[in-house]
C-alpha cells in the first residue's frame, strides 16, 4: 500500500510539474489548515529541490514572497518572488542572515536528518532540527504567524509539543495522506504565535 502511494505521488508530481512529490504534503496541509495567505512572506527551511516553494508561490499572490534555504543547491525558480540560499539552518551566522531577511508570516520546514538506520538516533536528530526551527521562529516569525515542521515520530515529540504550546494559540500534529507511505514522519503545526 505505501509503495503504491509513493509511486502515485511521484508520477503525479512529474505530470504536474512539481520538483518532488512532497509538494502534495504541503498542499494537503494547506487545504486543511490554511496556513499561507496572499501577501505573506514565507520562510522555507530545507527547501531543496524546491517543490514546497512551488506550492507556496501558488498561494501568496503577486505581493507575497518566499525565501528557501537548504544545504543543497536549490535550482532557481525563475520567479521574482522567490529567493534561494545555500546554508546550514543550524549555523548561527546563517540564522542571523535568515532573521535579517524577515520577518515572516509563516515558517515551513521539511528538513530531515540523513537517516542512520537507528530509529532513536534519527528521531533525536529530527527533534534537534525542529528545535532550531522553533528557535528561529521565536526570532523572526510575526505575531499570529504559523509554523509547519516535519518531525520523526518518537517518544519526545509530545514533550516538545507541550514545551512550545505556551507560545502559540494552537499546536497540533498532522500527518497528510501523502505522508502515509513515509515511515514515521509527521508535522507539527503551530498556529497564531503569541506576542
Q: Which residues of the chain form contacts with ligand SAM (CB under 6 A)?
A: 19-20, 22-23, 46-52, 69-72, 88-90, 110-112, 129
Nearest-approach distance from CB 119 to ligand SAM, in angstroms: 18
* Least distance (Å) between residue 168 CB and ligand SAM: 22
Query: How far apart are CB 58 and ligand SAM at their closest, in Å?
Result: 13
Query: ∠ CA(46), CA(47), CA(51), 5° rounding?
Result: 145
Alpha-helix runs per DSSP H in the chain? 2-16, 23-33, 51-59, 92-100, 119-140, 157-164
Q: Which of 51, 105 has the CB closer to ligand SAM? A: 51
CB of 74 to ligand SAM, least distance (A): 8
Closest to ligand SAM by CB, 87 vs 154, is: 87
Taking alpha carbons only, the member of 109, 108, 89 closest to residue 97 is 89
Q: Which of 14, 32, 143, 150 is catalytic?
A: 150
> What is the number of the residue whose Cβ is closest to ligand SAM?
46
Beta-carbon contacts of residue 187 (< 8 Å; ≥ 6 apart): 25, 29, 148, 149, 150, 151, 173, 174, 175, 176, 179
Residue 47 or residue 188: which is nearer to ligand SAM going by CB? 47
Q: Are 44 and 53 in contact (CB under 8 A)?
A: yes
How far apart CA 175 and CA 131 sit, in angstroms, is 19
In terms of CB distance, is 46 or 64 closer to ligand SAM? 46
HSE-CB of 31 using CA atoms within 13 angstroms: 10
Q: Is 150 a catalytic residue?
A: yes
SS3 194: coil
Active site residues: 150
Amino acid at each position: 500500500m505505501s509503495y503504491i502511494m509513493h509511486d502515485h505521488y511521484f508520477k503525479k508530481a512529474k505530470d504536474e510539474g512539481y520538483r518532488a512529490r512532497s509538494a502534495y504534503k504541503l498542499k494537503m496541509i494547506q487545504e486543511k489548515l490554511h496556513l499561507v495567505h496572499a501577501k505573506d512572506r514565507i520562510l522555507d527551511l530545507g527547501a531543496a529541490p524546491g517543490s514546497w516553494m512551488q506550492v507556496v508561490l501558488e498561494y501568496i499572490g503577486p505581493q507575497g514572497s518566499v525565501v528557501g534555504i537548504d544545504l543543497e543547491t536549490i535550482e532557481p525558480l525563475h520567479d521574482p518572488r522567490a529567493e534561494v540560499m545555500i546554508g546550514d539552518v543550524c549555523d548561527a551566522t546563517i540564522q542571523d542572515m535568515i532573521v535579517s531577511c524577515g520577518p515572516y508570516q509563516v515558517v515551513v520546514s521539511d528538513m530531515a536528518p540523513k537517516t542512520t538506520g537507528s530509529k532513536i538516533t534519527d528521531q533525536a536528530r529530527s527533534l534537534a532540527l525542529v528545535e532550531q526551527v522553533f528557535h528561529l521562529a521565536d526570532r523572526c516569525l510575526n505575531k499570529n504567524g504559523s509554523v509547519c515542521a516535519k518531525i520523526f515520530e518518537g517518544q519526545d515529540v509530545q514533550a516538545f509539543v507541550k514545551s512550545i504550546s505556551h507560545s502559540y494559540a494552537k499546536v497540533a500534529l498532522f500527518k497528510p495522506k501523502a505522508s502515509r507511505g513515509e515511515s514515521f514522519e509527521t508535522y507539527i503545526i503551530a498556529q497564531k504565535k503569541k506576542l
